[in-house]
A and B are shown apart, each in its own frame.
Chain A
Amino acid sequence: MSNSPLQYKPRLWLNWAIFISLGLLILFIPVPAVATAPTTRSFQIDAKRFEYNPAILKVNQGDVVSIDLVATDVVHGLSIDGYNLEVTADPGKTAHLTFVADQGGTFRFHCTVTCGNMHPFMSGKLEVGQNVLMWRGIALAGLALAAGIRKVVR
């Protein structure tokens, strides 16, 4: 009998189909958001070279988020991935930003004004509700490990 890897092996294909289906299920199955009464969350973010303080903002989905961006050294900006929002603060001045956190997940925010060498990496995190993607990722990692151990490959 030939050992060619191209040989049709029903069980192998079945294993692949099962693991891929489970993987897609883990990634895309809808997870109901935890219902909380929306409130207004206010933050003052001090921005200085390469650093936001605080750099991690936690809110619930549906909250009204109010941010005062204070630039303490040079001009800094703040733009949030996924929210299409941007604000710029001059040195010593405060810029204001208000929005409704209607999308769940973790979003990076970045400085939008060149403020020094590490400017492209000046970032922070906005955590809206649970970080579902992280939990999906951990579950997917578990599945990948199981698939690797199990005879999915020849």
Chain B
Amino acid sequence: MTRLQEIPWIEKIAADTNVIQPIPGDRLPLRLNLYRLRRLRPLLENRWPQLLVRVLTLSGFVFSIAAGLAGSRVGSHNFAIIIIWIAWWTALKLAFIPLGGRSWCSICPIPLPGDWLQQGGILPTRRQRFGLNLHWPRKLRGAWLQAGGFLLIGLFSAVTLTAPQVTSGVLIGLFALAIGLSLVFEHRAFCTYLCPVGGFSGMYAKLSPVEVRVIDKEICAQHEVKSCYQACPWGLYPVAFRGSAACGLCMECLRICPKDNLALNIRTFGADLGERKSASRLDETGLALVMLGSVLAFSAVFLGPWGWLKSAAFGIGSHSWLAYSLGYLLINLVLLPGLFVLVVWWREKFIHDWKKLRQAIATQAQALFPLGLLVWIAFTIAFAFSKLNLVIGVLNDPLGWGWHWLGVISTPSTIPVSSLILLVEVGLLAAGLFWSASVTRKLSVEHGKRNTVRSLPVLVFSLVFTVMMMWLLVG
């Protein structure tokens, strides 16, 4: 609920400024505004540093596509596979999301050409937008399509992650879709409603220690132009932010605000969570469960000792792949959602009011966000750590044609996994459970009273999931 056209009271602002008066207790404790730091501000204020980084990522993206198409068909010797699925994925899961929320979105190359088309230039200086500029259909809003996109990637993951040409095909498809949608719909429709990475980055951004927020809402109320909204490539209105899920941290609102009334805050981890009145949504619950189901399935396929499962996931179109797909979809669409609905229903004493149950499911799902993020970090360490040396290999020989750009003659195919890494994985899983239980505990306060015992079913769900992941990673 942060897009201007989605806020029912927004038209009243000019007439009734009381609507967005700061309410008592609406303070933001423990915030450090990075935009006020003298040395950092010029870097954020100037559009060129960010543009330079985005052009670099775009170059890497285009080179990855070319390498995937023209380079070695052996995935571990191809730049596209190793840089996208090992290096970038590791950076995304271990740094960009936990430390910066949607920070990757601020330098993502995929929407860049679409942005240039929409704004009619390389820098957002013109008001005339190119394209049809249509509203995204109301029925397709939310994270449902992003969850579906992630499921689709999951079904073909064994091939996508190992076949360079398929990876290139996926990248080209995403690129074309982003450009095409930017010509038809307003703002960043692809990033907001379709990009699976944007979906889970936004969801987990609620845990990150970074946020863009309005400093004084009263000043915004009196400012009639709403230049921040006009400038935002995502079509967001910062006054209405109730979380960090939608903001792509592009910094345009900070740059454009004539009142200097926006802040890029460092805050405590998980500041958006634990409030019963927070903007919990059922579509985000669905995405959170898909992320949990997918990490279970990926751990079994990629890290487990079951060769038949790897062959099934890889053999697209075969009977075994159909069985794998069915299992994967059952876990993600029936088993985990069914169990979660059941535990929340139990928590709510088997109420029959579907509307209340929906709200309870969406609220309790906040506990799944920290669980999911930490589990994905643990999985990524298990998945990528032993293969990080391949990054040097593909920088040395990006296309697998026998080059030695870095002068490296040979690199070991895998790094042995030490017991320390396994301990780190166990620690991360335990930390995820701890954080999840803390959120559940916060949510157990109703009418001023805490009732943690009532939340026991949700806690058991989180515990069982954590133990299953532990078994898959270190069992």
A104 to B459, CA, bound (A): 32
A148 in complex: contacting residue of B305, B418, B436, B470, CB < 8 Å: B436
- Is A55 close to B, CB under 8 A? yes
How many angstroms from the CA of A3 to the CA of B440 in the assembled complex? Answer: 21
Docked-complex contact A144 and B311, CB < 8 angstroms: no
B159 within 8 A of A: yes
Q: A79, A125, A141: which contacts B429 (Cβ < 8 A)? A: A141
- For B474, give its contact among A106, A148, A152 (CB under 8 Å): A106
| Chain B residues, CB < 8 A from A50 | 307, 310-311, 314
Nearest-CB residue, chain A, relative to B313: A118
Task: Pick from B30, B434, B470: contact of A137, CB below 8 A.
Answer: B470
Contact-size category for A: 35 or more
Interface of A is mostly: mixed
A51 to B: closest C-beta gap in Å = 2
Q: Is B387 an interface residue (CB 8 A)?
A: yes
Q: Which of A112-154 contact B (CB under 8 A)?
A: 112, 114, 117-125, 131, 133-134, 136-138, 140-145, 147-149, 152-153
Residue of B nearest to A114 (CB): B74
B436 neighbours in A (Cβ, 8 Å): 148
* A-B residue pair count with CB separations less than 8 angstroms: 143
A79 neighbours in B (Cβ, 8 Å): 414, 416
A23 with B430, Cβ < 8 A, contacts A141-B467, A145-B463 known: yes
Could you list some 30 contacts between A and B, CB below 8 A? A3-B29, A4-B29, A4-B30, A5-B29, A27-B427, A51-B307, A55-B307, A81-B417, A110-B413, A112-B414, A117-B75, A117-B314, A118-B162, A120-B76, A120-B162, A120-B387, A121-B310, A123-B303, A124-B305, A140-B430, A141-B433, A141-B467, A143-B430, A145-B434, A145-B459, A148-B434, A148-B437, A148-B438, A149-B437, A149-B459
B interface list, Cβ under 8 A from A: 29-30, 74-77, 158-159, 162-163, 268, 301-308, 310-311, 314, 386-387, 413-414, 416-419, 422-423, 426-427, 429-431, 433-438, 440-441, 452, 459, 462-463, 466-467, 470-471, 474-475
